[in-house]
């Protein structure tokens, strides 16, 4: 398959929006969205029908902090405020359905999450490609995108044999709209309803996850989140995984999230028998890529879009992640842990997976190897055209200054530097 030509995004700070996006933004321009715990609970209760809303004291505290942080982000547009409130409401609805499922089927708690393979690495460091590549192995359980959004089915929606789950249909409609509004999003993060997603989406139901950083510029939430032990929330992720495993198998998971990079201690406490796979890439490339994607997607949630503020936020956020990774990397058991360098992974994808499988005690079959090679042929890197980045021009950041700030990371891991000067 021939790769498309590189693409340069010229309108990060002054988005040129297609007509459908303009119509949507115009339709909600006068909408006043309230960020409060009560408003979220009321909205969720309206969607739940006969199922009782679930909140505990810890959730109430975290929700209050999150609402305050979102309210303080003055660049969130009416569309962004409405979207974020909808996401938080969805988490409340799903949490209530999860607790209801456990009440009706207490045997779910007997499920065992055994020997998962867990990928941890900064966003844009190859984690998604590695996860999706391994997920073609149907002997392993993975979390599909549609399932991450609505993990617990609505008991009022009966799915007849031979018909599509309405949760899949809803996720497809959502993605279709996203690609109409932001066609270049596919160049950075191509997704389908069956795309394999991150389990920290499940942590949204417990209102404690780094994922909230992707919904705006929320230093208040960031500081609160980083100041609290995340072990209880990793226990909640395990609880949610048990329910999903009970709903359908198989029983050995392939998981991944950038959040794990800064939560290696809670990760190990909750999943002590896991195989830990840490991906490593030039963090300056990662920061540039993540800032670009955040600024680009901000056109539907921020007014104005300030790329420099977004760039500074993500540079700081990722440097913090790397500091935690370096500080705690050696707490992971050597016999269960592998470091994967981005340039080596890109040079031989399947060989990397074979090494992971050896460490995990999971045999590679000819059938699975063939499926992985087919996946790579059908999904080459830069399939829709790679993005041409401009760290200084778009974000006012300089390569050399960032390299000085992350030198500690290069001192610890033999990562290949991807930029020279600028």
Task: Note the pLDDT tens digit of each residue in 227-261.
Answer: 999 999 999 999 999 999 999 999 999 999 999 99
Residue 315 reports pLDDT greater than 70: yes
Residue 2 reports pLDDT greater than 60: no
Among 292, 315, 286, 422, CA closest to 7: 292
The predicted model gives 50-59 an average pLDDT of 97
The predicted model gives 105-125 an average pLDDT of 96
Of the chain, the percentage scoring pLDDT greater than 90 comes to 89
3-state SS class at 403 = helix
Q: Is 372 exposed, middle or buried (0-12, 13-18, 19+ CB in 10 A)?
A: buried
**Structure-block tokens of residue 281:** 């890439």
Whole-model pTM: value is 0.96
Q: Please give the pLDDT value at position 1.
A: 47
* Calpha distance 208→230 (Å, rounded): 8
Q: Please give the pLDDT value at position 330.
A: 97
The predicted model gives 74-86 an average pLDDT of 97
Q: Please give the pLDDT value at position 3.
A: 65
Phi-psi region of 182 (alpha: psi -120 to 50; beta: other; left: phi over 0): beta
* Domain 7-412 grouped into CATH 1.10.10.60: no
* Calpha distance 401→397 (Å, rounded): 8
* Calpha distance 324→321 (Å, rounded): 5
Residue 276 reports pLDDT greater than 50: yes
Q: Please give the pLDDT value at position 420.
A: 67
pLDDT, one tens digit per residue, over 33-52 is 999 999 999 999 999 999 99
The predicted model gives 189-197 an average pLDDT of 88
* Calpha distance 137→388 (Å, rounded): 33
Give the burial string for 389-419 (b: 16+ CB within 10 Å, else e): bebeebbebebeebbebbeebeebeebeeee
Confidence of residue 378 (pLDDT cuts 50, 70, 90): confident
Q: Please give the pLDDT value at position 384.
A: 79
Contact, 347 vs 285, CB < 8 A? Answer: no
pLDDT, one tens digit per residue, over 6-32 is 899 999 999 999 999 999 999 999 999
Residue 419 reports pLDDT greater than 90: no
Residue 356 reports pLDDT greater than 90: yes
Q: By mean pLDDT, which of 36-45, 104-113, 190-199, 330-339 is the weakest?
A: 190-199
Q: Please give the pLDDT value at position 381.
A: 74
Contact, 251 vs 114, CB < 8 A? Answer: yes
Beta-carbon neighbour count of residue 240 at 10 Å? 22
Residue 300 reports pLDDT greater than 50: yes
* Calpha distance 42→61 (Å, rounded): 17
């Amino acid at each position: 398959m021939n790769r498309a030509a590189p693409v340069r995004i010229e309108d990060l700070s002054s988005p040129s929006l297609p007509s459908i996006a303009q119509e949507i933004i115009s339709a909600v321009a006068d909408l006043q969205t309230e960020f409060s715990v009560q408003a979220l609970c009321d909205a969720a209760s309206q969607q739940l029908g006969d199922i009782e809303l679930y909140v505990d004291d810890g959730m109430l505290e975290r929700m209050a902090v999150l609402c305050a942080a979102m309210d303080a982000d003055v660049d969130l547009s009416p569309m962004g405020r409405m979207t974020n409130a909808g996401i938080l409401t969805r988490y409340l609805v799903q949490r209530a359905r999860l607790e209801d499922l456990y009440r009706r089927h207490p045997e779910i708690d007997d499920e065992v999450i055994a020997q998962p393979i867990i990928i941890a690495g900064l966003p844009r460091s190859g984690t998604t490609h590695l996860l999706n590549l391994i997920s073609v192995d149907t002997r392993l359980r993975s979390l599909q995108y549609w399932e991450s959004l609505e993990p617990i089915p609505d008991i009022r929606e009966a799915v007849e044999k031979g018909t599509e789950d309405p949760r899949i249909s809803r996720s497809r409609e959502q993605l279709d709209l996203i690609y109409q509004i932001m066609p270049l999003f596919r160049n950075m993060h191509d997704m389908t309803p069956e795309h394999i997603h991150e389990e920290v989406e499940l942590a949204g139901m417990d209102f404690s996850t780094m994922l909230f950083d992707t919904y705006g510029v929320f230093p208040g939430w960031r500081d609160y989140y980083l100041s609290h032990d995340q072990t209880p929330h990793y226990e909640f992720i395990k609880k949610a995984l048990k329910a999903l495993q009970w709903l359908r198998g198989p029983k050995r998971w392939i998981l991944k999230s950038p959040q794990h990079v800064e939560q290696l201690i809670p990760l190990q406490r909750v999943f002590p028998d896991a195989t830990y796979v840490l991906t490593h890439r030039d963090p300056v490339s990662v920061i540039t890529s993540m800032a670009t994607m955040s600024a680009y997607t901000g056109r539907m949630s921020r007014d104005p879009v300030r790329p420099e503020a977004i760039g500074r936020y993500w540079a700081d956020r990722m440097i913090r992640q790397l500091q935690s990774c370096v500080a705690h990397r050696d707490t992971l058991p050597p016999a269960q842990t592998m470091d994967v360098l981005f340039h080596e992974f890109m040079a031989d994808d399947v060989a990397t997976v074979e090494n992971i499988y050896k460490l995990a005690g999971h045999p590679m079959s000819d059938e699975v190897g063939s499926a992985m090679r087919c996946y790579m042929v059908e999904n080459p890197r830069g399939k829709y055209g790679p993005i041409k980045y401009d760290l200084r021009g778009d974000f006012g950041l300089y390569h050399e200054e960032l390299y000085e700030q992350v030198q500690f990371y290069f001192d610890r891991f033999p990562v290949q530097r991807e930029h020279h000067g600028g």
